[in-house]
Structure 1
C-alpha cells in the first residue's frame, strides 16, 4: 500500500493505492492559500486520516505545484508562491516521520498516464496540464525525466511561438497586448493557454467576461477556440520537434473541451518540422485523479 498526495492551488487530494495500482480510498480537502504553515498542517491532517483508513503507516509520494531543489532543501517555481523557498520536504518528513518522495505535479500526472493510463502502451509520454497553470512532464520507459535542474517539461514558461506573427490565425491575435507572467517574464505559454489565459483572450476578442469552461457556450466561442487551438498547436509543435513523443496526454480543466481534439492534430502538423503526424494527442484516462495517482507511483508498492 502507498499514499499519493496531489497538492493543488485550491484542493489537496490524498489516495491509498494497493500493490496492483487500485485506488482504495480518496480524500479531498480545500487547500489553504497564502499560508505555508497551514499548508503543512493540512497535508499532515490528510495523511493522518489515510493512516487511520489503512490501519498502518505507508510511504508517501507528493505532487507539488513546483520543483524541489535538493541542494538548497527548498521549493522553487511554484505558482502557489507561498511555497517558494520553503523546506517543504524536510518539514513533512519531520512531521510525518517516514519515507516521502516529492515531484512536480505535472510529472506525477505524466507518470500516472504513462504507467496505467492513456499512454500505458507508449515508451515516450509527454503529459501536459492546461488548468490554473500550464505544466508538462516527460516520462520515458516508465521513469520521470526531471533533468539536473528539475525543469524538464516546463513548456509553460517558454515564450509563445509566433505571437502576433502566425500566418494561420487570420490576424485574430494581431491586436492582443503582451501578457506579464508571475514568473517575471512576458508572453509565457501559460499566460495564453491556462484557463485564465483562455478567458482573457475571449474577453479581448468578444468583450464578454466568461470563465474558461463557459467560453464554448458563447456565440463568439468558435472564434476564441480557433485562436486558442492555434496557439496551443504552436506550443505543442515545439515539444514534438524537440522530444518527438509517442503520445501527448492532456489534463486540466481546459483539456476537457471537445474543440481541442477535433482541430488540434492537424494544426500541430502545420508547425512541426516535416512531421508524419504520428504523435497521438489524447485526453487523460484518469482526469484530475492522475495527479494523486502519479504521486503514489513515486514509491514502490
Structure 2
C-alpha cells in the first residue's frame, strides 16, 4: 500500500499526517511545537524530530512529503518570502528539507493548501475552478484548477489580500495603502467598531451583539464587511470566474457573508447582475492545511 505524507508548518505547531492512499485512512497524526522564536535551524530540527517520531511509531518510510508553509517559495530565487514566521524569510526551505529528510519535497503556502484541500476533499469537491479565501487576522487566497494549485509566475497566485481596496486608506506593512487586509480582516473590523463606539471588542462579541441584541453599530460592521467583501471579490470573479468560493478563517463564521454577500455582489459582477458563483462554508476546519499538503504529493 502507498502512503502519503503531509506536514502543516504553522507558527506555533507542526502537524504531520500519514494517509493510506487507496483507502484515505489516517494512519497517524502527530504534532510538535514549532518554537519559531529559537530560529530557522531549530524549526528544521523540529520538523526532522516530527518525521522521525512518525517513522518510529508507524514503521513507514516517506517517499515524498508535502508541506503547507506560512509563506511562499519564490520561483526565481527558490527562497521563502512573505512568511509570518519571519525566521523563514530568505531561506531555501525546499532544498534544506530535501537535504535533511532525503525525500522529494513539495511546498505550497497555507492559503493554497487550504484551497486545494477544500477543492479536492472538502466543500468544493467536484468543482473545476475554486477560489479559496482566508478571512482571519489577515486576508489571503488560493486558486485551484482541476485539482491543481496555480502558484503563478511569482508564486503569489491568489494573493488578493494586498490588492488595493482604498487608495486613500491606511498604510499597510507591504508598502501600499488601503489593502483588502486592512478593510475586512478581523482586526480591521474590530477597529471599525471601535471607531463607531470607542469600545475595543473582539469580532466574535461584535457579531453576537448584532445577532442577539440587534445593536446598530454592530450591524454597521456586518454591513461594512459584506459590502466591502462583495466589491473586492467581484474583481476576482470578473477575472477568474470560479465555480465556487470557499471561506476559511475566523471571519468566515459570519453567516451574512453567504447570504448578503452574493446579493451585494450583483453590483460588481459583469454578468447582468446574475450571480451563480457558489459561496461555500469550509468542511475541513483546522485540518485543511495538512490535507492540502498531502494533495501536493498525491500524484
Which segments of 5 or more consecutive residues in structure 1 lack a partner in the other structure?
A: 165-176
Q: 2: CA distance between counterparts of 1:212 and 1:41?
A: 37
- Deviation of 1:103 after TM superposition, in Å, equals 0.8
Q: What's the secondary structure of 2:267's corresponding residue?
A: helix
Aligned position for 1:26: 29
Aligned position for 2:123: 118
Q: Quick check: 1:75–1:83 contact (8 Å CA) kept in 2?
A: yes
Matches within 5 A, 1:206-245: 206-218=197-209, 219=215, 220-245=217-242
Q: 1: CA distance between counterparts of 2:57 and 2:247?
A: 32
1:42-68 CA-partner distances (Å, limit 9, x unpaired) = 222222222233312212100112211
- Deviation of 1:250 after TM superposition, in Å, equals 0.5
- Deviation of 1:261 after TM superposition, in Å, equals 1.6
Q: What's the secondary structure of 1:127's corresponding residue?
A: strand
Inter-CA distance 113–132: structure 2 relative to 1 (3 Å threshold): same
1:180-216 CA-partner distances (Å, limit 9, x unpaired) = 3222222111122222222222222222212233321
Q: Quick check: 2:186–2:251 contact (8 Å CA) kept in 1?
A: yes
Q: 1: CA distance between counterparts of 2:85 and 2:128?
A: 32
Inter-CA distance 202–82: structure 2 relative to 1 (3 Å threshold): farther
TM-score normalised per structure 2:
0.89
- Deviation of 1:254 after TM superposition, in Å, equals 1.5
Q: What's the secondary structure of 2:151's corresponding residue?
A: coil
Q: Quick check: 1:3–1:17 contact (8 Å CA) kept in 2?
A: yes
TM-score normalised per structure 1:
0.88
Q: What's the secondary structure of 1:62's corresponding residue?
A: strand
Aligned position for 1:295: 293
Q: 2: CA distance between counterparts of 1:216 and 1:124?
A: 31
Aligned position for 2:282: 284
Aligned position for 1:49: 53
Which segments of 5 or more consecutive residues in structure 2 lack a partner in the other structure?
A: 210-214
**Where does structure 1 differ by over 4 angstroms across 4 or more consecutive aligned residues?**
none
Q: Quick check: 1:68–1:103 contact (8 Å CA) kept in 2?
A: yes
- Deviation of 1:227 after TM superposition, in Å, equals 0.6
- Deviation of 1:41 after TM superposition, in Å, equals 2.4
- Deviation of 1:295 after TM superposition, in Å, equals 0.5
Inter-CA distance 280–63: structure 2 relative to 1 (3 Å threshold): same
**What number of residue pairs does the alignment pair up?**
287
Q: 2:184 aligns with which of 190, 193, 204?
A: 193
Q: Quick check: 1:205–1:224 contact (8 Å CA) kept in 2?
A: no
Q: What's the secondary structure of 1:101's corresponding residue?
A: strand
Question: Mean alpha-carbon deviation: is it higher for 136-145 or for 197-206?
Answer: 197-206
- Deviation of 1:99 after TM superposition, in Å, equals 1.4
Q: Quick check: 1:138–1:152 contact (8 Å CA) kept in 2?
A: yes
Q: 1: CA distance between counterparts of 2:268 and 2:94?
A: 40
Aligned position for 1:204: 195
- Deviation of 1:226 after TM superposition, in Å, equals 1.0
Q: Quick check: 2:76–2:154 contact (8 Å CA) kept in 1?
A: no
Aligned position for 2:212: none
Q: What's the secondary structure of 2:222's corresponding residue?
A: helix
Q: Quick check: 1:155–1:189 contact (8 Å CA) kept in 2?
A: yes
Inter-CA distance 3–76: structure 2 relative to 1 (3 Å threshold): same
Aligned position for 2:9: 7
- Deviation of 1:25 after TM superposition, in Å, equals 2.6
1:124-166 CA-partner distances (Å, limit 9, x unpaired) = 1111111232111111111111111111101111111xx39xx
Aligned position for 1:173: none
Q: 2: CA distance between counterparts of 1:216 and 1:3?
A: 38
Inter-CA distance 185–216: structure 2 relative to 1 (3 Å threshold): same
